[in-house]
Structure 1
Amino acid sequence: MAPRDTDPPDPGRRSRLFDDELLGLDPAEPEVQAFAAHLDRMRREPSFTVEASLTGVGDFADAANRAEGGRRWAAVLVVLLLLAGVVYVATTILTAVLTIMSG
């Protein structure tokens, strides 16, 4: 599993992409560092494990925290819909278990 890069761009750390794809851009510029971090995340190998799923949730949370306006509200709506689904499934299972045990 590839290591997760959740730290903000560090001015002292240079991405290997500056040598290949971002040649000619100023590595000290914050926007260029953020774009290099984005490219590093996009090149991460997919891993279909629980840890990778949790990493994906963390990436979603990081992106939602950076979002503004409509994108932020869309992320909030997605989270609320997921929580509503979890509550519905949990109550359905709990009701079924209690019905079986009582009857």
Structure 2
Amino acid sequence: MERDGFTDDLDDLDPDDPEVQAFAAHRDRMRRPHSEATVEGMLRGVDDFAQSINRADGHRRVVAVGVVVLILFGVLFTVWNAVAFMFTTFAG
């Protein structure tokens, strides 16, 4: 029987203990199928990355935010080049 991430083998543990809650969340993440070939699987990976950034602190958080900023910069650069190419192609 499963309730809120706790299965029968976790019944003897205190569900209010933060370490037990973290362990149960870790087990739930490990049991989830990770099909990266679907949109849902890719979004699940982004969600896991965002949650790990929220849990990080110090230099790890700075590095993770830097990675996100670089990804966004790359996307904006690519979109800008595509729009400029389409404009120059159709305008003259």
TM-score class, shorter: 0.7 to 0.9
Query: CA deviation digits over 1:63-90, x for unaligned, max 9?
Result: 1111100111111011001101001100
Aligned counterparts of 1:28 and 1:14: Cα–Cα separation in 2: 12
TM-score, structure 1 as length reference:
0.74
Cα displacement string for residues 12-63 of structure 1 (whole angstroms, at most 9, x for unaligned residues): 73512x61xx686544421111112112102211122112111211111111
Q: Number of matched residues?
A: 89
> Which one of the candidate residues 31, 41, 52 is aligned to 2:29?
41
Q: How many percent identity over aligned positions?
A: 51
Partner residue, 1:86: 75
Q: Which amino acid aligns with 1:15?
A: F
Structure 1 residue runs without a partner (length 5+):
1-11
TM-score, structure 2 normalization: 0.82
Higher mean displacement: 22-31 or 43-52: 22-31
RMSD between superposed Cα atoms in Å = 2.0
Partner residue in 2 for 1:7? none
Q: Find the counterpart in structure 2 of residue 13 from structure 1.
A: 4
AA aligned to 1:72 is R
Asked if structure 1 preserves the Cα contact closer than 8 Å seen for 2:5 and 2:24, the reply is no
CA distance in 2 between partners of 1:81 and 1:52 (Å): 23
Q: Give ranges in structure 2 of 5+ residues lacking alignment.
A: none
Change in CA separation of 1:35 and 1:102 when aligned onto 2, cut-off 3 Å:
same
Q: How does 1:24-63 map to 2 (within 5 A)?
A: 25-47=13-35, 48-63=37-52
